[in-house]
Chains A and B, each alone.
Chain A
Amino acid sequence: MNAPATPVTPKYAAYICSGCGIGDAMKVGQLENIAKKEGKMALVKSHPFLCNAEGVQTIRDDIANEQVTHVCIAACSRRAKTEAFQFDGVAMSRANLREGVLWVVAAGKEHDEVRQEMAADYVRMGCAEVKKMKQPAGNVKEASSKRILVVGGGMSGMTAALEIADTGYEVVLVEKSGALGGMAANLWKRQPFKTPYAEAQDTGVAEMAARIAANPLITLHLNSTIADTSGAPGRFVIQVAQESGMVSEETVGAIVQATGFTPYDMAKLPELGGGQTNVVDQAGLEALAKQANGGAIKREDGKEVSSVVFVQCAGQRDTTGTHLSYCSGHCCGTSIKQAMYFKDQNPDIDTVVMYQDLRVPGMGEDFYRSAQQKGVIFSKGKASKVTGGDSCAVTFKDLILDEENTIDADLVVLATGQVPNAGVDLEAWNPVVTAAEGGDEAAKAQRIVMHGTSVLKLNYRQGPDVPQFKHGFADSHFICFPYETRRTGIYAAGPVRRPMDILQATDDATGAALKAIQAVENASLGRAAHPRSGDLSFPTARLEGCTQCKRCTVECPFGAIDEDEKRFPKFNEERCRRCGTCMGACPVRVISFENYSVDTVGSQVKAVEVPEEDEEKPRILVLACENDAYPALDMAGMARMNYSAFVRVIPVRCLGSVNTIWITDALNGGYDGVMMMGCKKGDEYQCHFVKGSELAHYRMSKIGDTLKQMGLEPERVVTQEVAITDNARVVKLINDYVAELDKLGPSPMKGFG
Chain B
Amino acid sequence: MTINQNAANQAAVERYRNNFLKEVEANVEEGHMVKMCMQCGVCAGSCPLGNAWEHSPQKIFMMIRAGKRAEVLGSDSMFMCTSCYNCMVRCPRQLPITHIMHGLANYAHRLGLAPKGQPTRDFATLFWNNAIKRGRVNELMLTLRHYFRGGLVSGIKEAMGMQSIGLGLLLAKRLNPMEIFGGHGVKDLKGFHAIIAKAKEIEDRKKGFTA
Which residues of A approach B to under 8 Å, CB–CB? 350, 358, 368-369, 372-373, 375, 377-380, 398, 400-401, 405
Contacts and interface: CB of A to CB of B under 8 A. Distances in A.
A379 B38 contact: no
The winner among B21, B35, B59, B93 for most chain A CB atoms within 10 A is: B35
A372 B65 CA distance: 11
Interface in B10-28: 19, 21
B36 A372 contact: yes
A378 B37 CA distance: 9
B28 to A, nearest CB: 16
Contact of A400 (B19, B39, B93): B39
B62 interface: yes
A398 B66 contact: yes
Contacts of B36: 369, 372-373
B66 A358 contact: no
21 contacts: A358-B38, A368-B38, A369-B93, A372-B35, A372-B36, A372-B38, A373-B35, A375-B21, A377-B21, A377-B35, A377-B65, A378-B38, A378-B39, A378-B65, A379-B62, A380-B62, A398-B62, A398-B66, A400-B39, A400-B58, A401-B59
Contact of A401 (B19, B38, B62, B93): B62
Given A379-B66, A380-B62, 12 more contacts: A358-B38, A368-B38, A369-B36, A369-B93, A372-B38, A378-B39, A379-B62, A379-B65, A400-B59, A401-B59, A401-B66, A405-B66
B65 to A, nearest CB: 5
Contacts of A398: 62, 66
Interface in B27-45: 35-36, 38-39
Contacts of B19: 350
Interface string B115-158: 00000000000000000000000000000000000000000000
B91 interface: no
B159 interface: no
Contacts, number: 34
A380 B63 CA distance: 11
A340 to B, nearest CB: 14
Contacts of A375: 21, 35
Contacts of A358: 38
Instruction: State the majority secondary structure of interface residues on B.
Output: helix
The winner among A350, A372, A373, A379 for most chain B CB atoms within 10 A is: A372
Nearest to A348: B19
A273 B93 CA distance: 34
Interface string B153-175: 00000000000000000000000
Closest 5 CB pairs of A and B: A400-B62, A372-B36, A380-B39, A377-B65, A372-B35
Nearest to A358: B38
Contact of B63 (A350, A377, A401): A401
A205 to B, nearest CB: 32
A372 B39 CA distance: 12
Contacts of B65: 377-379
Contacts of B93: 369
A373 B66 CA distance: 17
A659 to B, nearest CB: 56
Interface in B49-63: 58-59, 62-63
A401 B41 CA distance: 12
A400 B41 CA distance: 9
Contacts of B38: 358, 368, 372, 378
A55 to B, nearest CB: 59
A727 B63 CA distance: 53
A405 B35 CA distance: 20
B58 to A, nearest CB: 7
A242 B66 CA distance: 54
A368 B63 CA distance: 20
A369 B19 CA distance: 20
A84 to B, nearest CB: 52
Nearest to B41: A400
B70 to A, nearest CB: 14
B173 to A, nearest CB: 53
A143 to B, nearest CB: 59
Nearest to B63: A401
A335 B33 CA distance: 22
A358 B62 CA distance: 15
Contacts of A380: 39, 62
A363 B49 CA distance: 35
A369 B92 CA distance: 12
A457 to B, nearest CB: 48
A369 B39 CA distance: 13
Nearest to B44: A400
The winner among A358, A373, A377, A379 for most chain B CB atoms within 10 A is: A377
B194 to A, nearest CB: 41
The winner among A369, A373, A380, A400 for most chain B CB atoms within 10 A is: A400
A350 B39 CA distance: 19
A380 B59 CA distance: 11
Nearest to B35: A372
A383 B38 CA distance: 19
A400 B66 CA distance: 11
Nearest to A402: B59
B41 to A, nearest CB: 8
A398 B62 CA distance: 9
A111 B41 CA distance: 60
Nearest to B92: A365
A379 B64 CA distance: 11
A398 B66 CA distance: 10
A216 B107 CA distance: 69
B44 to A, nearest CB: 9
A294 to B, nearest CB: 25
A405 B62 CA distance: 13
A416 to B, nearest CB: 24
Contacts of B21: 375, 377
Interface string B72-90: 0000000000000000000
A142 B19 CA distance: 73
Contacts of B62: 379-380, 398, 400-401
Contacts of A400: 39, 58-59, 62
Nearest to A365: B38
The winner among B21, B36, B39, B93 for most chain A CB atoms within 10 A is: B39
Contacts of B35: 372-373, 375, 377
A375 B59 CA distance: 18
A377 B35 CA distance: 7
A398 B93 CA distance: 21
Contacts of A378: 38-39, 65
Contacts of B39: 378, 380, 400
Contacts of B58: 400
Nearest to B39: A380
Nearest to A374: B35
A469 B38 CA distance: 35
Nearest to B56: A400
Contacts of A377: 21, 35, 65
A498 B21 CA distance: 39
Nearest to B21: A377
Contacts of B63: 401
A120 B86 CA distance: 68
A528 to B, nearest CB: 48
A568 B116 CA distance: 91
